[in-house]
Homo-oligomer: A and B are copies of this chain.
Amino acid sequence: MRVNRREFGGLLGGALVGNALPALHAQPAGRSFGYCIIGLGRISMDHFMPGVLAGNGVRITGIVSGHRDKAERMAAKYGVPESSIYSYENCDAMRDNKEIDGVYVALPNSMHAEYTIRAAKAGKHVLCEKPMSTSVEDARAMIAACRAAGRKLMIAYRCQLEPTNLRAIELIRSGRLGVVQTIESGYGFNIRAGEWRLNRKLAGGGPLMDVGIYALNASRYLTGEEPKEIAAHSSVIDHDGRFNEVEENVGWTMTFPSGIVASCNTTYGAPMEGFYRVHGSKGVLHAEPAFAYEGIHLRAKFDDGDPIDDLESEHDPQQFRRQAEYFAGCVAKDQEPKMNGEEGLRDMELIARIYSACGIHL
């Protein structure tokens, strides 16, 4: 079924929609949000699908894949009927599948736009992996398509829902860290040859597009501001065939309207645990790992008061479960996701500016 506010209100007798109660707990049994998984890569099979399985009020009701065998195995595992397995060619038929409320787009970056738009046209809400797209134009088209269809669009910035990251934001907003001056952030890894991430046509760009986006997005959610000025450099060091199409390293600095200066790095040539550090007048906050699927670790020291040493395992580590539930809840409550299409678009605009400062044009 397609869930919109009016219908959902009807189901609930109009009483609970849009108020502060967790929407998913308000859903009658059997009315859980059905996700169709588009793309059976590692992030779908190892993370998102188990997250949905663990979640409340969410379930997997469809699969789109180019590998019928794999799709059938996953369908069996998650109780998806064979009739709800689609290929990339025939997936527009999900329009008539009332068990599918939304899709989870987990394809190579350059395919995000096409499948987001096709899903929206099929009347489905869209949870799309980051980076939202490989160009600003595509991002705008995705927003327009979802808006025209009256469907929600969310970008899978799971860190914005993750408790340890939220605690970091709260330490800043509450003034506990004093006046924030500088941020350092980065994320990278040493990539294996042959990954689709090295194919410009599929990936759109290199580490900036793939993992540098975490440092960029974190700089924005930590400050609550939009970067004003940007300067950047990129390089390729390893001429071993991996970096014929995308960059290997990017370093960039940004200033924010308040004057906060952020210096960031990303690489495909070396291990670099995702991290950020925030230097405020009253203390320092350091998250590392900051963006991992689990084990996020926040430490903070203050001029006065006890330090903080906060491991994600003390909270609930199920980031993908939380994300799946949150998006379903936004649909149920007809509430705009905080990580909506515009949020993704802003990163794409900034990524384009960073690349442009490096002399790379998307």
Contacts and interface: CB of A to CB of B under 8 A. Distances in A.
A280 B284 contact: no
A237 B179 contact: yes
A179 B253 CA distance: 23
A245 interface: no
A188 B238 CA distance: 33
**Within the oligomer, what is the number of copies of this chain?**
2
A235 B257 CA distance: 10
Interface string A256-273: 001111111111011111
A184 B181 contact: no
B182 A265 contact: yes
Contacts of A232: 231, 253
Contact of A178 (B235, B265, B270, B281): B270
Contacts of A248: 181, 259
A279 B284 contact: no
A150 to B, nearest CB: 42
Interface string A216-259: 00000000000001011111111000000000111111110011
Nearest to A229: B233
Interface in A276-319: 279-281, 283-284, 301, 303
B272 A279 contact: yes
A274 interface: no
A335 interface: no
Contacts of A188: 181-182, 279
Given A251-B255, A271-B301, A272-B279, 6 more contacts: A231-B233, A231-B357, A252-B263, A263-B265, A270-B284, A271-B279
30 contacts: A179-B237, A179-B238, A181-B249, A181-B269, A182-B188, A182-B249, A182-B267, A184-B265, A188-B279, A231-B231, A231-B252, A232-B253, A233-B255, A235-B255, A236-B259, A237-B258, A237-B260, A249-B261, A251-B262, A251-B263, A252-B253, A253-B253, A261-B265, A267-B279, A269-B281, A270-B279, A270-B284, A271-B283, A271-B284, A273-B284
